[in-house]
Amino acid sequence: MIQKLCIWSFISIVFLSCKPDEILLQKPDVNKDNLLISLSMQSNYEDQVWFCLAEGKEVYRNKKMAWDIQFSCIGNNYIFLNSSLVMKASVTNFTNWTDVNSGNGLKFTHDHSSGNKDSLAIGKAEDVLNKIIVIDRGFDVLGNPLGLIKFQVKAVNNQKYTIQFGAINSTTGTEVEIIKNPDYATVSFSLNDAKTLLIEPMPAAYDIVFTQYTHSFYNPYTPYLVTGVLSNRKNTKVAEITTKAYELITLEDTKNLVFTDSLDAIGYDWKTYSFDTQSFTTHSQKVYIIQTQKNDIFKLQFLDFYNDQGIKGYPLFNLQKL
């Protein structure tokens, strides 16, 4: 009898501890959809890699030397220099092609890495129409200077740009029409080949690009070639969390963040270089929160800048949609 009471007591305890309207749930794994991704920019950073967060993969890559100038296809007629080559330009007040034969005495500026339209070296095509512009083409992947050219916007409308370019001491230039493509934000132009290229993917196809670009340091002003990440110009915003571990960050943590649409919001400083050890250290405590043009929210954490063979130029990062 005592044995039966013990059995019934045990059964009662089991049933009483789980009421019919209660279900025991396993704690969810908030990082079960996390992706660990490694990209190759090559050891000399010659590749530009365009990446889609939603697909978790690169959608296009090109050699940074493949193009020199980009022309807006949508909205205002802005002209961009290839920042990965440390290009810069000086807009003169001359309109006669032969009045400019060197860069002597000219003040050159770079496109600001934030992407601010008022901080572009050339800017809006209408504002520089017919003016002779001297462009310093920057450096190749080995650090060799590419020299100066003359450049001129002769006309612009909703369909195309008409430009002229040539050697700095040329008496006549080569005239080219840059046809806009409304499916793309920009169309690129190669000075070497005198032809247009579709380098930047369609706006909806990518979110960030892994690339070199020119960053401006101040006091004193020093343009410097860095390697990092730039955002899509179209409605892509970034914030940063440094006070909470990547694994613990949820969508709720992003609701009061201040986002910025600066192109270099992710930038280059998720790593630092030591001249003593001649190596990079990755700062994994920095977590980037990215809001895409579709209003999806992702978190991204860099883990390394080297591959398994110890070769630099291979970013390794965690990525997860929140």
- How far apart CA 89 and CA 126 sit, in angstroms, is 16
Residue 248, in any domain of the structure: yes
Q: What is the residue-wise DSSP string for 2-71?
A: HHHHHHHHHHHHHHHHS-TT----PPP-TTTT-EEEE----TT--EEEEEETTTTEEEEEEEGGG-SEEE
Structure tokens at 176: 């080219």
Instruction: Examine the pLDDT at 180 and tell me if it is beyond 90.
Output: yes
Residue 17, in any domain of the structure: no
pLDDT per residue as tens digits for the range 217-274: 888 888 999 999 999 998 999 999 999 999 999 999 999 999 999 999 999 999 999 9
pTM of the model: 0.88
Residue 101, in any domain of the structure: yes
pLDDT value at position 5? 37
How many folded domains does the chain comprise?
2
Domain of residue 106 covers 68-197
Q: What is the DSSP letter of 275?
A: T
In sequence order, the β-bridge partners of residue 227 are 212
Residue 296, in any domain of the structure: yes
Which of 197, 225, 252 is the endpoint of a domain?
Answer: 197
Q: Are residues 136 and 250 in the same domain?
A: no
Q: Are residues 182 and 76 in the same domain?
A: yes
Instruction: Examine the pLDDT at 189 and tell me if it is beyond 90.
Output: yes
Q: What is the residue-wise DSSP string for 188-224?
A: EEETTTTEEE--SPPGGG-SEEEEEEEEEETTTTEEE
Instruction: Examine the pLDDT at 2 and tell me if it is beyond 70.
Output: no
Residue 172, in any domain of the structure: yes
